[in-house]
Structure 1
Amino acid sequence: MRPELSTAANTTLSLLTIAAIVLVWGGVTMIRKGDRNGGGRTKGVLMIVCAAVLVGNVLIWTV
């Protein structure tokens, strides 16, 4: 059994989860809107990849 996480760790994991949700939302928005130079789609995909990494980190710390 793992010991309980500290309050600071719980707060950090909560903020990472919120950040991942915001990154996915922003990434989808960037993909849908795009821009004139085509960089919006790339940035949107990178935002979603970053969110996946954050979720992976949260899972590593909690499981």
Structure 2
Amino acid sequence: MFENELRDHLNERAQVVTSAETISGVLVAVTESTATVRVAQYPGYGGAEDVTVRLETIAYVRFFV
């Protein structure tokens, strides 16, 4: 299933694309219904932010090695 494929790439740089947005960062968690990507904040504004996306809304995912 899709979530199992995503789990194989945990802690890798990824770009998650939906019809509404593109999220780039590190894939940090995957459940049966969601994927969470840790995105960097703008320089000077502190740490990172986790963005959770429902799997059903994902059009495709790119991984960067």
TM-score, normalisation: structure 1:
0.21
Q: Is the radius of gyration larger for structure 1 or structure 2? A: 1
Structure with higher helix content: 1
TM-score (norm 2): 0.21
